[in-house]
Amino acid sequence: MSRDLRPIYTAPSESAAKERFTDFMKKWGQQYPAIIKMWNTAWTEFVPFLDCHSPRCAPAAPIPVSSRRTDRHRLCRGGDRQANAALHHIVEVRLSYDTATQNYRDTHLDKGWAIYAVFRALKRAVARQIFHALTGKCAVPDYTDLRPARRAKNLTLTAAAQHLGVWPSRVGELELGQRPNDELAERYREWLHTA
């Protein structure tokens, strides 16, 4: 039954949740009418929960605060402050190490965005990625080919690490998929192909 409930509370909108609830009702309504009745009476309390698909769960959602001549937004002051702090730290780390995030920041600052607006946009993107990862809708990079390819050529982790300029433990973590790094994986694949 819980497998059939999951599509309801992971629905992207209220109408999609209603459709999925109708399917659930057809399957389980005869056997568990009390559960159907409970869902029907609590539907209005459940609908705001669907907003957690957006960054509103943490205060990264924009709220319009426009005056007569300017249109601008501020962050939602409600929500979970610890989640907001976590999003902020994630964005700071990504700005330090991730080139795509750095390029996004630079292009939007060149367009005239303020740094807080760039942070807000990045925090919303991170919140969406985290939600999709938690609900199983996140693409996970596949590194399962790296270790067998290295072993087939009788290469050691140390030799691979020396060529790539990283620690051997980093190469091992990459092979096991514990610390994804697409750029390092691509360089590693190229080296394995030519070695």
Digits of tens for pLDDT over the chain (195 positions)? 667 777 776 777 778 888 888 888 888 888 878 878 877 877 776 666 665 554 455 555 556 666 666 666 665 666 667 777 888 899 999 999 888 899 999 999 999 999 988 998 898 888 878 777 766 655 667 888 999 999 999 999 999 999 999 999 999 999 988 888 889 999 999 999 998
SS3 165: coil
Question: Computed over its alpha carbons, how large is the radius of gyration of the chain?
Answer: 23
The amino acid occupying position 80 is D
Phi and psi angles of residue 49, each rounded to the nearest 5 degrees, phi first: -60, -30
Among residues 49, 62, 47, 52, which one has the least CA distance to residue 116?
62
Instruction: Please state at what angle helix 168-176 crosses helix 157-164, rounded to 10 degrees.
Output: 100
Instruction: Write down the pTM of the prediction.
Output: 0.44
Query: Any bridge partners for residue 73, and if so which?
Result: 64
What residue type is 135 in one-letter code? T
